[in-house]
Amino acid sequence: MPKYKAAEYIRLSYTDDKSNESDSVGNQRKLIENFIAHNPDIEVVAEKIDDGYSGILFDRPAFKEMMQDITDGKINCVIVKDLSRLGREYIETGRYLRRVFPAYGVRFIAINDNIDTARDSSGDDLAVSVKNIMNEAYCRDISIKTRSSLDIKRRNGDFVGAFTVYGYLKSEDNHNRLEIDPYAANIVRTIFRMRLEGSSASYIAGELNRLCVLSPLEYKKNKGLPYAKGGYTDKESCKWSATTIIRMLQDEVYTGVLAQGKQSTPHYKLKTLEQHPASEWIRVPDAHEPIIERRDFELVQRLRHVDTRTAPQKGTVYLFSGILICGCCGSRMTRKTNRSGGKEYNYYYCPTGKKHGCKNPVMLKESELMECVRVSLKGHIDNVASLEALLSGVDQQRINQQLASEYTEQIRENERQLEKVSEFKSRLYENLVQGILTKEEFAMFKGKYTAEAEKLKAAIAALKDKLTDVMENRSERNRWMAHFTQFSTLEALDRKVIIQLIQSITVIGKKELSIQFNYDNEYSKALSVLTEAELRKVG
């Protein structure tokens, strides 16, 4: 008589690449049955299949049925292909392995991970191995997916990656097609738009963090989507960073181009990625719906090379004090005067300098800076003026409505986050009592969740203020535009113009400035209302 009555537990995630046969239901079953054949002390009495459920959450129907069978005493053994079938989240998976299963005397076997609780009885060893195996299982998943040779699919414009880029999801009907993720795509549009309007990458990152918009990695974790290590992420903090923004701004995927085969690894345990030259990428245009128009994408690429070298011109005193920022270290730049041959030359420089840790302190001639800012500002004023003319027929109400719904959506998203954080926090103590978390881990998580909650609350408050502003300004029709158009004959810069129209100027390098104009949000809303109005005319 077999000693163990076992349930085969099979889980197929909806995000699993269906072309990865090793995780198919049939293959998981075959592997388990093969294992049973060599273990006569086990008899399979039930098969539980969760098809299309993430490994992060445990409220899966077949899993719950299996737990019921366990409490009813119908089974005393659970067999899975690998640990990630049971779950992909460490605390909860660990709880089942260390507390729940032992409490019911259930033997747990994860075949490919070489776990068998009838064999290894020490709970602590198990915890360590769980941690390692979770990582291992995760890495193996990436490896299988990236190493398969799928060039034909790539050439067809089929998406074969395991992880979609932020802004897209795998299509439900066809896992080889990318489909726009409406929420993330909006953030992508915001990023390109802010850049086009002159914001620096670090400013954009700061704004997104301030408003508690989840970074690509956080967003994917949060939605239970698979994510790549070393994707668009700042590994240390998980927050938006300038690097993330810059990489996104350079990614052609947002124009509908699918470029694959950029890199590969010889084996999943080798960390070094082999980078392939761009000429070897498989590049398919119009593979999916674009988020960013080609024209805008190219404009953003051109922005990287703004040249500030222009003819010298006599400077006005302290024109840029306070708004000129070192793009490298974030310090406000200081003005100084050099005299040489009876002439005066004015410069702005980073006061931090190499000595105190600024990696790329730039020194700029005031005259060159002025000319560059004057030209950009004039261009922007012209844009606002034509926008105003074009918008005269369009209702301001619509602009406000759009802003209001955007803020409301972000507030809701933040409130959802807050709820989740509070829930995590409230479960911590239980985890401490049950011994799943050590005291140190408990304190660490608690601090982390508290800080996170505070930040979310502040962001919600800031967004609510913005929302109120929008609601109350309903009658003040495009008043912000007058701030710009009153200077439409602008010939020379003065302090007043700069303060009124420019939020900040970030000096990225000797040849690259990033100008943040005032009323950015209003400007872009007006633009999108206009675009929509024109589309309606065409359609």
Max CA separation in the chain (angstroms): 105
Q: What are phi and psi for residue 386, nearest 5 degrees? A: -70, -30
The CB-of-505 to Zn ion minimum distance in angstroms stands at 14
Q: Exposure of 124 by Cβ count < 10 A (0-12 exposed, 13-18 middle, 19+ buried)? A: exposed
**Based on CB atoms, which residue is closest to Zn ion, 45 or 329?**
329
The CB-of-331 to Zn ion minimum distance in angstroms stands at 5
**Based on CB atoms, which residue is closest to Zn ion, 364 or 403?**
364
**Based on CB atoms, which residue is closest to Zn ion, 242 or 390?**
242
The CB-of-87 to Zn ion minimum distance in angstroms stands at 46
H/E stretch holding 456: helix 439-472
Residues that bind Zn ion (CB under 5 A): 326, 328-329, 331, 350, 352, 358, 361
The CB-of-15 to Zn ion minimum distance in angstroms stands at 42
Q: What are phi and psi for residue 83, nearest 5 degrees? A: -60, -35
What is the β-pairing status of strands 77-80 and 107-110? Answer: parallel
The CB-of-309 to Zn ion minimum distance in angstroms stands at 20
**Based on CB atoms, which residue is closest to Zn ion, 91 or 329?**
329
**Based on CB atoms, which residue is closest to Zn ion, 329 or 404?**
329
Q: What is the dihedral of CA 489, 495, 499, 505, to 10 degrees?
A: 100
The CB-of-312 to Zn ion minimum distance in angstroms stands at 24
Give yes or no for a contact between 217 and 210, defined as CB atoms under 8 angstroms apart.
Answer: no
For 299, other C-beta atoms within 10 Å of its C-beta total: 14
One-letter amino acid identity for 73?
A: G
CA atoms within 13 A on the CB side of 487: 26
**Based on CB atoms, which residue is closest to Zn ion, 350 or 403?**
350
**Based on CB atoms, which residue is closest to Zn ion, 184 or 328?**
328
Residue with tokens 């498989």: 282
The CB-of-215 to Zn ion minimum distance in angstroms stands at 25
**Based on CB atoms, which residue is closest to Zn ion, 350 or 364?**
350
H/E stretch holding 388: helix 366-391
C-alpha 175/C-alpha 190 separation (Å) is 27
Q: 401-436 as b/e, with b when 16 or more CB fall inside 10 Å?
A: ebbbebbeebbebbeebbeebeebbeebeebbeeeb
Among 97, 75, 251, residue whose Cα is nearest residue 168: 251
**Based on CB atoms, which residue is closest to Zn ion, 224 or 353?**
353
Q: How far are the Cα atoms of 28, 202, 367 from residue 321, in angstroms, in the given order?
A: 66, 20, 14
**Based on CB atoms, which residue is closest to Zn ion, 2 or 509?**
509
The CB-of-243 to Zn ion minimum distance in angstroms stands at 17
Residue with tokens 């089942």: 96
**Based on CB atoms, which residue is closest to Zn ion, 282 or 507?**
507
The CB-of-303 to Zn ion minimum distance in angstroms stands at 21
The CB-of-510 to Zn ion minimum distance in angstroms stands at 13
**Based on CB atoms, which residue is closest to Zn ion, 326 or 399?**
326
Q: What is the dihedral of CA 464, 465, 471, 473, to 10 degrees?
A: -160
For 113, other C-beta atoms within 10 Å of its C-beta total: 22
Q: What are phi and psi for residue 534, nearest 5 degrees? A: -70, -40
C-alpha 335/C-alpha 350 separation (Å) is 9
The CB-of-502 to Zn ion minimum distance in angstroms stands at 20
The CB-of-346 to Zn ion minimum distance in angstroms stands at 18
Q: How far are the Cα atoms of 56, 462, 528, 539 from residue 467, in angstroms, in the given order?
A: 34, 9, 18, 31
CA atoms within 13 A on the CB side of 237: 12
| DSSP 8-state secondary structure symbol assigned to residue 290 | -
